[in-house]
Structure 1
Amino acid sequence: MQSAAAFTRADVAYLSSAAGAADLDDVARYRLTDDTLVADAAAIRARFGPRAGVLVETTLLRRRAAAKFDAAAAAGWLFTDEALEQATAAPVARHHAQRLAGKTVHDATCSVGTELAALRTTAARVIGSDIDEVRLAMARHNLGPDVMLCRADALKPVSRDTVVLLDPARRSGGRRLIDPRAYIPPLDVLLEVYRDRAAVIKCAPALDFDSVRRLGFDGEIEVTSSGGSVRKTCLWSPQLADPGVRRRATLLDRGEVLTDADPDDCDVASPGRWIIDPDGAVVGAGLVRHYAARHGLWQLDPAIAYLSGNQLPAGVGGFEILDQLSVREEVLRQALSAHDCGSVEILVRGVDLDPDALRRRLRLAGHAPLALVITRIRSGAQSRDVAFLCRAASDDASGPPQRPPETPVPPVTPVTPVTLP
């Protein structure tokens, strides 16, 4: 079967045609599951010959895309595997579009057009370009004739007086690229080429902020979460950032935004009733203290992201402390047995411990689902590892805890229209 990497302009022309659309409708009726793929592929090959590969691949990619985008929109789109893997999820793309509302935007690495689809609903005008002619042809199919598209190298700007959106590739040959200087195009080169432009550059979620600052970036770094996980880290040039803001966490599920301009005066103290593991965007943006200050929480340790409080912020999950234990396996095993634990979620920060290996060694035989939050408290000679035995927050989190924690930890104190040359 043909792989996504083998898509050609001729394939895109066929898939975009009425005949291709009809063939895709036929192939979509096959299950194409792990159990049926071999038989289904053989039947499709017998019927469609050399076009079977792109038909099956496109059908499978559309099914994957339905979970990332609006299902109705994904049903008619064309993708490559890597383009779909890197494409910005619909809620995040809509967020970017809202931040760029009213501006003229040039997506200079537009790929198959997922960001442009969101931008054209809010921006004054949009254009897209990409160096990959196959992805550009897919973008034309996906977006229709109304969006201006051209083939161009992102390192050779072809627009003026626009906000430039850039999404360098962070995978190559199926391998994730960790060093931003290995992005395609490299992040350091992009920063130099667009140093004096209003630009947004999308990066990997786990971006090292210090390394980006060392590359000379002096704008805002935003970490965005959606669907319970961090989706994207974006660099917003100083022209697009709010005054005084260099770090931002955007929690799309909650409609909450924090920045480093917000208050961060939170205490470090003994655990209360609840332990809260902040959203990944808050942790990634380094705004844990700001989040705690906003919601009346405090830190268990100044260097650890776990927070505590006697009440949960509205709509936020947490772990109700049932017991406080030493991190010795026999102690943990006895406590879990005493609470009839049959499954345990293990969260670890600041302690060198493999949660999966520990879970296997605990040999649980009960029925109740519980959690262990294992962390380090204090530092230096007073440092010690602590395990909190917890239950996850229920719908009714207002009653008294089942059992108070033992041996509390001592407190420690206007844009002009685009001009194409």
Structure 2
Amino acid sequence: MSYTHQEVDYLRSHRPEISDVTAELALTRSSLVADTEVLRRHFGEYARAVTELVTARRSTIGKLPSDWLMCSESAQQSTPPTVAAVRARRIADHLGAGARVHDVTCSIGSELPQLTAVGLAVTGSDLDPVRVRMARVNTGSAVAVADALVPPLSPGAVDAVVADPARRAGGRRITRPDQLLPPLPELIAAHAGTPAAVKCAPGLDFSGWDGLVSVASVDGGVKEACLYSPQLGGGERREAVMISTKVGTGPRLDRITDLSGDGGGESLAGPPGRYIVDPDGAVVRSGLVRHYALREKLWMLDDRIAHLTGDRIPEGRTGFPFIEQVPLKKLKTVLRKHGCGALEILVRGVDIDPDKLRRNLKLAGDRPMSVVVTRIGSAGVALVCGPRADGVDRS
């Protein structure tokens, strides 16, 4: 739920007081009645807005600055700074420092600081005047109220645009670029001739895009896909960007790229090696499993399924020490033989519900294990493994 202009002004001018009063409030479902009464005593008619702000901030700890103005919806839609930084660096590398970039769906401004940090001249706009107001407070950038399909700047006034069309409609996830809000073809047409970087959900059909499709993940979780115009793609067609933040030296980036976009080649399938490796979601969603396997000297269990195997776990990743391959109908007996008590289950290529499978297995041992349920050829199989293990980090 968003705010009125008056609520935004109040939240801005009472930031220290809001922080002091809400610091000790849990704002959980069980404490909500008591916490709401505290907020009403302190903030009166603005208690709802304060509750919304604090809830949104707590949901984005480590993602957005803790003193930003935001609502729950805008916080949920915002791009993680590490992902926005990768996009900003690509734009700066291709256009040069000082290039003019306009974020045409800037919302509360989450993309603007990263673009500014790499030396780009940044402006923003959004159709929602309340979010524009928050973006101005949050970033200090020039932000206007405007429709992304009606550019507020004259042709040639910017060198690139960044956009984040709505990815849901009627409560459902949009699966086609031409159904985004605004639709991708209309968005590109409105900014014809200007290089674009368009953020999208990673599950969209990108087969008709003639530039770069870049899928980004953070600590294994896929965050978004970004469609870059050919001017920003550098000749690449597909890219997986894997960002690791759980290292002491700051975020670490690992990229896999493909110039052709088709990932073709000879079969890489073979029998299980010492480890089973489940590739990062960015690698899978970008269609670069084969490229990743070749780089890491791994091979595939089946050319159509994204599980990999080999004699080592890639550096900085995790995998499963392989024990034996069994038919699905024998899995329960085999796990009992091994004394399995706690089980991590991965499923790909087979129509099985992991939670239902775990219940049916009725585990009673004390040994932690893993099982990869997958398809090899025409048969569904279970790869019984030890617990998840880390790859060696030699950095």
TM-score between the two structures when normalised by the length of structure 1: 0.84
Q: How many Å apart are 1:395 and its aligned residue?
A: 5.5
**Are 1:225 and 2:226 an aligned pair?**
no
CA drift of 1:194 comes to 2.8
Please show how residues 254-333 of structure 1 align to structure 2 within 5 Å: 254-261=252-259, 267-328=268-329, 331-333=330-332
Which residue matches 1:148?
142
Q: Which residue of 2 aligns with 1:401?
A: none
Aligned to 2:11: 15
Could you tell me how far 1:116 is from its partner in structure 2? 0.2
Note the 1:333-352 alignment, pairs <5 A: 333-352=332-351
Query: 1:71-220, aligned counterparts within 5 Å?
Result: 73=65, 75-101=66-92, 102=97, 103-144=99-140, 147-159=141-153, 160-172=157-169, 175-210=172-207, 213=208, 217-220=209-212
SS in 1 for 2:117: coil
Q: Secondary structure at the match of 2:130?
A: helix
What code does the residue aligned with 1:327 have? L
Select the residue among 36, 39, 61 that pairs with 1:66: 61
* 1:232-247 map, 5 Å: 232-243=224-235, 245-247=236-238
Superposed CA offset, 1:277-333 (max 9, x none): 1111111010111001101111111111111111222222111111110011xx211
Unaligned runs of 5+ in 1: 398-421
Cα drift, residue 370 of structure 1: 0.9
Change (3 A) 1:125 1:169: same
Offset of 1:183 from its aligned partner? 2.4
> Which amino acid in 2 is paired with 1:192?
A
- 1:265 CA displacement: 6.2
SS at structure 2 position matched to 1:255 = strand
Indicate if the aligned counterparts of 2:345 and 2:371 stay in contact, CA closer than 8 A. Answer: yes
Contact 2:341–2:364 (8 Å) recurs in 1: yes
**Larger RCO (CA within 8 A; separation ≥ 6):** 1
- Residue 351 of structure 1 aligns to which amino acid in structure 2? V
Of 10, 25, 28, which residue of structure 2 is paired with 1:30?
25
Q: TM-score, normalised by structure 2?
A: 0.89
8 Å contact kept, 1:266–1:289: no
What CA distance in whole angstroms lies between the structure 1 residues aligned with 2:268 and 2:174? 38
Post-superposition shift, 1:85?
0.9
Q: Structure 1 residues 127 and 157, CA, compared in 2 at 3 Å: closer, same or farther? A: same
Alpha carbons 1:12, 1:134 under 8 Å: kept: yes
CA distance in 2, matches of 1:373, 1:124: 46
Q: Distance in 2 between matches of 1:373 and 1:81?
A: 36
Work out whether residues 174 and 204 of structure 2, in 8 Å CA contact, stay in contact via their aligned partners in 1.
Answer: no
Counterpart of 2:67, as a letter, is G
For the Cα contact (< 8 Å) 1:268–1:302, is it kept in 2? Answer: yes
Percent identity (aligned): 44
CA distance in structure 2 between the partners assigned to 1:177 and 1:206 by the alignment:
9
Q: Which residue of 2 aligns with 1:404?
A: none
Q: How many matched pairs?
A: 374
Q: Which runs of 5+ in 2 are unaligned?
A: 245-251
Taking the aligned partners of 2:324 and 2:18, their CA distance within structure 1 comes to 61
Larger Rg: 1
d(CA) in 1 for partners of 2:320, 2:25: 44
Query: Which residue number corresponds to residue 43 of structure 1?
Result: 38
- Alpha-carbon contact 2:313-2:391 (below 8 Å) kept: no
1:209 aligned counterpart, secondary structure = coil
Give the Cα separation in 1 of the matches to 2:72 and 2:180. Answer: 18
Identify if the C-alpha distance between structure 1 residues 322 and 126 changes in structure 2 by more than 3 Å, giving closer, same or farther: same
* 1:405 alignment partner in structure 2: none
1:346 Cα deviation after fit? 1.4
Matched, 1:375 2:374: yes
SS of 2:9's equivalent? helix
Taking the aligned partners of 2:158 and 2:68, their CA distance within structure 1 comes to 30
Amino acid at match of 2:163: L
SS of 1:45's equivalent in the other structure is helix
1:24 and 1:55 in contact (8 A); partners too: no
Compared CA separation, residues 137 and 178, structure 1 to 2 (3 A): same
Q: Which amino acid aligns with 2:120?
A: A
Bigger Cα displacement from structure 2, 171-180 vs 331-340? 171-180
Q: Deviations over 1:186-208 (max 9, x none)?
A: 22321332342200000012222
- AA partner of residue 200 (structure 1): A
Kindly state the Cα deviation for residue 384 of structure 1 after the two structures are TM-superposed: 1.6
